[in-house]
Amino acid sequence: MDDMEDITKLADQSQRLSEVTVDCYNQSEELSAIEVYFTDAMHFPFAATWRDPDEPGHAEAVTVLGVDEVHERRGVLLSVKHGQKRRRLLAEQVWADDEHSANAIVLHDYRYWVDELHGLTPGYG
């Protein structure tokens, strides 16, 4: 596919991730490709929910403003507005409120890459 935004229209998650990482040879390159997926396919700002994995049942409304930073160890950090404050959150802790949007699809794909494909774990593919 020529356009990252079109990838979110593919129904199959493994096909989407294959398209995103097609020319990648290691995790660092995959993370760079995922950064492009975030910046090209997502539509900022958008309403979302932050769920802190260290606090079961924790859910707070945030507005995602954009990608703040991509870090080799921590992954994608999003800039969000929480009340009147701005902060950075790990992308895998954020769920887009519109579950059928491109934003939700990209976040879901990223969580899968991190959790199931060990995307941020040294020593994996």
- Residue ranges covered by each domain of the chain: 4-115
pTM to 2 decimal places:
0.93
From residue 76, alpha-carbon distances to 11, 20, 24, 39, 86 in Å are 23, 15, 17, 11, 16
Consecutive 10-residue averages of pLDDT for the chain (125 residues): 84 95 93 96 97 89 97 94 95 97 97 90 66
